[in-house]
Structure 1
Amino acid sequence: MNRSRLLRANPRSFVALLLLVSLTLLAACGSRENGEAGDEGKIKVTTTIGMIADVAKQVGGERVDVTGLMKSGVDPHLYKASEGDIGKLERADVILYNGLHLEGKMVDIFEKMAQKKTTVAVSDDIDRAALRSGAAMATEYDPHIWFNVKHWMTVTETIRDTLAEHDPGHADAYRANADAYLRQLRELDAEVAERIRTLPERSRVLVTAHDAFGYFGDAYGMRVMGLQGISTASEAGAKDVADLRDFLIAHDIKAVFIESSVPRRAIDAVIQGAKEKGHELKIGGELYSDAMGEEGTPEGTYIGMVRHNAETIVNALK
Structure 2
Amino acid sequence: MGKTFKTNSALRRFIMTIVFLTVTAIATSACGQNADDGQSGKLNITATTGMITDVAQQVGGEYVEVSGLMGAGIDPHLYKASQGDVKKLDDADIIFYNGLHLEGKMAEMFEALEKRKPTVAVSEYLTEEQLHTAPGQGAGMHDPHIWFNVKLWISATEVIRNTLVEKDASHADYYKDNAAAYIKKLEELDAYATEQIATIPEASRILVTAHDAFGYFGEAYGLTVTGLQGMNTMSEYGSKDVSKLRDYLVEKKIKAVFIESSVPKKSIESVIEGARQLGHEVVIGGELFSDAMGDAGTVEGTYIGMVKHNVDTIVAALK
The alpha carbon displacement at 1:14 in A equals 5.1
Distance, in Å, in 1 between the alignment partners of 2:83 and 2:204 is 47
Aligned to 1:34: none
Task: Tell me the secondary structure at the aligned position of residue 77 of structure 2.
Answer: helix
Aligned to 2:41: 41
| Residues 297 and 80 of structure 1: CA distance in aligned 2, closer, same or farther (over 3 Å) | same
Q: Is the 8 A contact 1:287 1:309 kept in 2?
A: yes
The alpha carbon displacement at 1:83 in A equals 1.4
**Offset from partner CA, 1:63-110 (integer Å, 9 cap, x none):** 100011111100000001111111111100001000000000211100
Distance, in Å, in 2 between the alignment partners of 1:16 and 1:297 is 58
The alpha carbon displacement at 1:235 in A equals 1.4
TM-score, with structure 1 as normaliser: 0.89
**Offset from partner CA, 1:2-25 (integer Å, 9 cap, x none):** xxxxx8996578558757986999
Task: Tell me the secondary structure at the aligned position of residue 112 of structure 2.
Answer: helix
Distance, in Å, in 1 between the alignment partners of 2:203 and 2:56 is 38
Aligned to 2:99: 99
Give the root-mean-square deviation of aligned CA atoms.
2.5
The alpha carbon displacement at 1:243 in A equals 0.9
Aligned to 1:242: 243
Task: Tell me the secondary structure at the aligned position of residue 180 of structure 1.
Answer: helix
TM-score, with structure 2 as normaliser: 0.89
Q: Is the 8 A contact 1:137 1:230 kept in 2?
A: no
1:190-205 mapped onto 2 (5 Å cutoff): 190-205=191-206
Task: Tell me the secondary structure at the aligned position of residue 271 of structure 2.
Answer: helix
Aligned to 1:59: 59
Q: Does 1:185 align with 2:186?
A: yes
Moved segments of 4+, more than 4 Å? 7-27
| Residues 303 and 61 of structure 1: CA distance in aligned 2, closer, same or farther (over 3 Å) | same
Runs of 5+ consecutive residues of structure 1 not aligned to the other structure: 1-6, 31-39
Distance, in Å, in 2 between the alignment partners of 1:303 and 1:313 is 16
**Offset from partner CA, 1:224-262 (integer Å, 9 cap, x none):** 000000000011111111111111111110100000000
Aligned to 1:311: 312
**Offset from partner CA, 1:157-183 (integer Å, 9 cap, x none):** 010000000111111111000000000
Q: Is the 8 A contact 1:188 1:303 kept in 2?
A: yes
Distance, in Å, in 2 between the alignment partners of 1:140 and 1:86 is 26
| Residues 111 and 315 of structure 1: CA distance in aligned 2, closer, same or farther (over 3 Å) | same
Q: Is the 8 A contact 1:228 1:234 kept in 2?
A: yes
Q: Is the 8 A contact 1:137 1:229 kept in 2?
A: no
Q: Is the 8 A contact 1:257 1:286 kept in 2?
A: yes
Distance, in Å, in 2 between the alignment partners of 1:13 and 1:304 is 66
Task: Tell me the secondary structure at the aligned position of residue 78 of structure 1.
Answer: coil
Task: Tell me the secondary structure at the aligned position of residue 269 of structure 1.
Answer: helix
The alpha carbon displacement at 1:140 in A equals 1.1
Greater shift in the superposed pair: 14-23 or 199-208: 14-23
Runs of 5+ consecutive residues of structure 2 not aligned to the other structure: 1-6, 31-39
How many residues are matched? 306
Task: Tell me the secondary structure at the aligned position of residue 285 of structure 1.
Answer: strand
Distance, in Å, in 2 between the alignment partners of 1:86 and 1:48 is 12
